[in-house]
Every structure is written in structure tokens, then in C-alpha cells.
Amino acid sequence: MTKTALAIAAHPDDIEFLMAGTLMLLSQAGYEIHYLNLANGCCGSTVLPREEIAAVRRGEAQAACRVIDAMYHESICDDLEIFYTKPLLARVSAVVRDVAPEILLTHSPSDYMEDHMNASRLAVTAAFTRGMPNFPVNPPRPPVDQSVTVYHAQPYQNRDPLGNRVFPDLYVDTSEVIERKVQMLACHASQKNFLDQTQGVDSYLQALRELDAEVGRMSGIFQYAEGWRRHLHAGFCSPTDDPLVQALSFHQLHVRRAVEAEAEHEL
């Protein structure tokens, strides 16, 4: 049976910034990888109308998926309309049942904007309801009994909404895939071009490198890294399940626990 990993984020380009390196490494480890942005990016332009920019950003997200051979799933709502509601939960839950992921990657439960936090809530509850036959999903899908381990990405800029620095429990080395992450992000040309005009050429792409470099410094060992915190196991998997660590401990050290980094700093 093919092992699968599903990334659920709020907007087109969120996966690229926060999760794509880990997805690539999971693909190298034999996982089938899936990509879902809940919102369609319709507010991502000050020039194009909603429907037009949403269509543009859909194409950009699909192009980014092709860079890493990920399976693309359609968005389910507009920007700033990711609310924790039963209709949206039913849609997200249907995707989770379709994919039956062993690993689910999503946003931090505390982040700088509501879309990110609500996407995290929807992803977590959708995973929790995966095996509940009495919870109707849309479109209808049978329940699944696959255990799933949920991992939360770092909040944007590695800080919570009040500006407090957030440290991950787990570091994933993205040094060997950082340029593929940049290549994925460059597929989102509508956002890159807009920010090039307002913030300087390639600021969009450089921001990705800087975020991964900051997490790399937190790790104490990696040049670039993505950070993760594992959701409590109850209702999802066994207490000892940690498939992300197991999958990425191949060939060489791709993951490092926070306690290891802290112990080295104390020496």
C-alpha cells in the first residue's frame, strides 16, 4: 500500500514557503505527495478582477505541483473566507478520506492571520473525523481507518500573532532542495511580479530563502530548514507514531529534534 502525505494550506504559495521542502524529501522517501490550498487566491491582485486572478493563481499552483510531481487538489473557497464551518469541514474531510494520508502537514494553530489558523483547524478536524461514518462529507466518501500523524508548520516569520518567537520541535533539512523550493515559488509569477514592483526585484524569492535560513540557524546544524511541531496523538495515531522522522532518517540525517539542538548548545 502506497504511503501518502497531504499538505493543507490556506493560499497558493503557502505550501511553497512553509512545507514544500519536507514534501520533496517525503517524495524521495517513497511517499505519494498531495497539495491542497483551501482558498483560491482571488484577493491576490490589486489590478485583476477576482475571477481572473483566481484562474491565474490556480494555473500557477498547478505548475508548482508539477515541479515536485505532487497531486493537485482544487481549492474550495475564496480568500478571507476560510471559516471553521460545517460546509467547509465536509469538503476538507472528503479530501482527507480520498487521500488517507499517513502524514498530514498544515499551518501552525497560531499564526499572523485567520485564514492560516482556520485552515489548521479544518485540517485537524478533518483528520479526526476520517473514520466517522456518521459525519457526512462532501462529496460523499467512505470512512478510512488509516492512522494519521498531524504536523504543524512554523508560523510565518517564526512568530505568533503577538510577535513571540516560536521554536519547532522538529527540524527538517531543506538545504539540498532549497533551490527547488524557490523554483516552485517562482511559478507564482503573479505574486512575484507584484512584489518585484513594490518591494524590489526577487524579494519574494529571497524571503523564502531567509525564512528557511532562520529555521536552519535555530537547528544549530542545517543551513536551511523547515520546522514542525507534532499534534497530540489522541484520536489520530498511536502515542509513539512519528512517521515524518522515520521517513526522513534515510541515507543521511535529514531531521533533527529540538532537544538535540538544545543539548548541543549547552555543551
pLDDT tens figures, 178-231: 999 999 999 999 987 766 665 665 688 899 999 999 999 999 999 999 999 999
CA distance readout (Å), 104 to 6, 95, 146, 171: 5, 12, 12, 16
Q: In whole angstroms, how large is the CA radius of gyration of the chain?
A: 18
Which residues form the domain of 54?
4-266
Q: Looking at the 3D structure of the chain, how many domains does it have?
A: 1
Asked whether 168 and 218 are in contact (CB, 8 A), the reply is: yes
pLDDT tens figures, 47-87: 899 999 999 999 999 999 999 999 999 999 999 999 999 99
What's the mean pLDDT in 256-263? Answer: 64
Give pLDDT, residue 116.
98
264 pLDDT more than 70: no
267 pLDDT more than 60: no
Q: Percent of the chain at pLDDT above 90?
A: 85
CA distance 236 to 239: 9
For residue 255, give the H/E element and its range.
strand 255-257
Give the domain CATH number at 217.
3.40.50.10320
CA distance readout (Å), 49 to 11, 13, 55, 74, 114: 17, 19, 10, 20, 23
Nearest to 93 by CA among 121, 120, 130, 119: 130
CA distance readout (Å), 137 to 89, 98, 99, 155: 8, 11, 14, 29
CA distance readout (Å), 259 to 12, 165, 262: 33, 17, 5
pLDDT tens figures, 24-54: 999 999 999 999 999 999 998 888 999 999 9
Beta bridge partners of 53: none
Asked whether 29 and 177 are in contact (CB, 8 A), the reply is: no
1 pLDDT more than 70: no
Q: Percent of the chain at pLDDT above 70?
A: 91
Give pLDDT, residue 178.
97
Higher-confidence position of 1 and 184: 184
CA distance 56 to 219: 37
Q: Which three cell numbers stand for residue 13?
A: 504559495
